[in-house]
Each structure stands twice: as C-alpha cells, then as structure tokens.
Amino acid sequence: MVTFTSLNFILRFIVAFIFIYYLFPKKYQNMVLFIGSLVFYGMGQWMFLPLLLGLTILNFGFGTWLSNGNKLGYAISYKKPRFIVVLAVDVITLVAMKGLALGLESFLFPVGLSFYIFKMLSFQVDCYTGKIDGDLKFTGVAAYFTMFPQVTQGPIMRYDHALFSEGRKFSLINLELGMEYFCIGFGMKILLADRLALLWNEIQKIGVESISAPLAWMGVYGYSLELYFDFWGYSLMAAGLGVMLGFPFVENFSNPYGSTSISEFYRRWHVTLGTWFRDYMYFPLGGSRKGKLKTIQNLMMVWIVTGLWHGGTINFIIWGLVLGMIIVCEKFLWKNFMEKHSFFGRILVLFVIPLTWLIFAVSDLGQLKEYFIKLISIHSGAPMADLSKYLPMYGIFFVIGGFLLIPTVANGILKQREGKIQGLRVILLFIIFVVSLYFSGISSGNPFLYYSF
C-alpha cells in the first residue's frame, strides 16, 4: 500500500498530482481528484478497486434519485424502499468483508472500507432527509467518496461540509498552510509514533510473562502515545493535503488528553467518527430524549457498534462495553462529583484511557489477563534491569509526547505565526521534514495503525 510517509508518495505522487490538479480549469478539478484517487488506491490494492468504483457508482445513483425525489416532492414513504436497499448493500458489504478478513486472511479486507462506507451511509441519509438536495454531479460525488487524502483512514468528512459542488481556487497561502500541517503530522508519525512503536514491539518479542511491572506500565503508556501520535499525525497529513487542494481544514483531534471526563475525551478523539455515530446512530435511536433506561441502552448500543467497527474479535467488543459503561456511570452516577472535582476526571482520563487502549491492542484474552496481572505484580521480571535498559532508550520520547499532550503547546504548534517567528517556524518544519524523510527512507515502513480498521 502506498502510504503518506513513503518516498514515492511525497516526492512523486503528490508533487505531480498538485501540479496537474491546478493545471486544469476549476470545473475539471473534481474529475482530476477522482481519477487521481483511483490511481492512488490502485497502486496499493488494485484488486479492490472494482469494489470501490462499484460502490461509488451505486451510491451516486441512489443518492441522485433520493435528492431528485426531494425536489419533486416525493413522499418519504415513497423513497424509503430504495433508501433501505442502498443502506443494506453498504452495511452488508462492510460486515461481509470484515467477516472474510476475520475468518480467512486479513488481506481480504480492503484498506479504508470502513471509512468510505461510512461516508456513503451519511451521504444517503442526508439525501433521504433533504439535507443534500442540489444537482448532484458524478465527478463531485465520486471525488468525495474516493478522495485520496481520506479514502484509507478518514477523516469522515461530510459532503455538505466541503466544496465538491464547485471548483476550488489555487492559493499560495493554502498551499503553505497545508504543507505545514503535513510536515507536523509527518514528524509526529515518523519521529515519535514509530519510535514508541519499537518499545511495544520489544515487549511483544520478550513476552508478557517475562516483563516486569515497570516495563508493563511503560508499554501501556508507550502504546497510548504511539496510537495517539500515529493517528493524529495521519489526520494532520490528510488535513494538510486537503488544504493544499482547496478544501477546509478538518479537525479530527482536539486535545483529547486535556479532557476532564472519558465522554469528553471521546468528543475530542477522532472527532469525525464520534460525530458520525452521534448524528447517524445515537440521535436516530432517540439520544437522551426518552428517559434514563433508553439513554443507557442507546449509549451501550453505540459503543458496542463502535467496538465492532474497529474489529470483530472479542477484545474490541469488551473495549466498547467497558467505555460504554464508564460513560454511563459518568452521566448518571458521577456527574455531580465530577463537576465539583474536575481533577477526578483528569486523573480518570490519564489513568483509565491507557488501560482501555491495552484492551484495544491485545486480542488474545489470555495474554490480556496476564498483562493486567503484570501491571499489579510486585515480584515479576527484573524491574531495575528493565528501567535501566529502556528508560534511557525511550524516555525522551515519553517526555516529548507528554509535552505535546499539553493543550497550550499543541495549539501553539498548529497556530499560524507571522513575522520573524514565522521564518524560524519554517526552518524548524523544514528540518523536521528532512529528518522524517530520511528515517522514512531507511526504514522498511511502519504502516499507520488505523489501516487495519
């Protein structure tokens, strides 16, 4: 799979694509984006290109019919059968492919299927309810579904939030800003997430039964930071590419580790996925409008589906159930206490969230149980030997990662600067880019974690 961190993508594909993209008149930009996205996807998984193209054509056809039905005044009941058909096709495709990958081989799961199917589902709902009711053009809708900055890992942009119905203007400011976002995300992925991944890989090689409690805790927090900077880094790279192409910036992470509750954490983590579940599942189920028991039921259903969306193994279901129960407790049992004592919520986030990522990371329940035992075991492994070996190797990455978790620091890094500071910022970003490019070139390539979802 061609990734955003590969030399072929950075030095060849994106340079050539942006040049061609802006060389064409505005009215052809969606067509260029669609064709370029198919080329990008085909370079990695050409065997699944017909599936992506077929679903794109199918969803455009149904979406056009539903949208035209709004303009012609068709009743909801008249549109409903076709709406149900296209939703069923999309959902069955996602479930079937996940089942094949889980039961046979993981390579049978098309990269990005979960993300572009969710785009298609939200598109159909918005067409059905009249939120999208303009004249739909195939190239615009197809570019939205297949857009290469988002087709493999999201974010899950909404059709009406972008500019797919009109051309986009070239702007040096947007080009520079997009490049800055891309460089920051590139550095987070290569220089931080991939370095922390080495620690988790080392623990896997040693075996859970042989590690000490301090190393087990290092592994928990190391994996948490790796996952965060891997996916946040990707999201910034994707957002930067979108800005370069004239689209609005899509914020997918909003300082989640600065949250004062688990529920707030997930409003800030993977924002586009969270709002998708809120708008297209939680609210249609009734949200919190039908009493306490119904609210609890709706929350648990959403979190079980969220777990299944990430993977079909039992650990993902447990992960969803645990988070759902914590959020229910926050909403109905701990609410008053947490409002008066925000420090409790902050401790909950910094302590519980990393432990839930452990459930997320370890699919074997026996190994998962053993790992939790190691976390509280006093007489296991060689704690001093582990600390003396691994702290010097990875301590600096924990310090940098912790520093970047501070909201003020994170906001400052992403904020546009002016004047002399801007010049220093450009130099620093250039250094980060070159160093990241070097490490990307000499490594075998560590794929983004969310490629497997």
Q: What is the set of active-site residues?
A: 310
What are the residues whose beta carbons fall under 8 Å from the beta carbon of 251, sequence distance 6 or more? 239, 271
The alpha-helical segments, DSSP class H, found in 104-193 are 113-129, 138-146, 172-187
How far lies 452's CA from each of 109, 309, 327, 357, in Å?
8, 11, 26, 15
- Give the whole-angstrom CA distance, residue 136 versus residue 121: 16
The residues, ordered by sequence, that sit 6+ positions from 357 with a Cβ below 8 Å of its Cβ are: 220, 223, 224, 227
| Tokens of residue 236, six digits | 């910034």
As a 3-state breakdown, the chain gives helix, strand, coil percent values, each rounded to 5, of: 80, 0, 20
Two tokens, residue 160: 């009406």
| Cα 337 to Cα 324: distance, rounded to the nearest angstrom | 19
Cα R_g (the chain), whole angstroms:
23
Task: Give SS3 for 340.
Answer: helix
Tell me which H or E stretch contains 336: helix 335-340
Angle at 363 between CA 51 and CA 152, to 5 degrees: 30
- The CA distances from residue 13 to 37, 45, 446, in Å, are 11, 16, 19
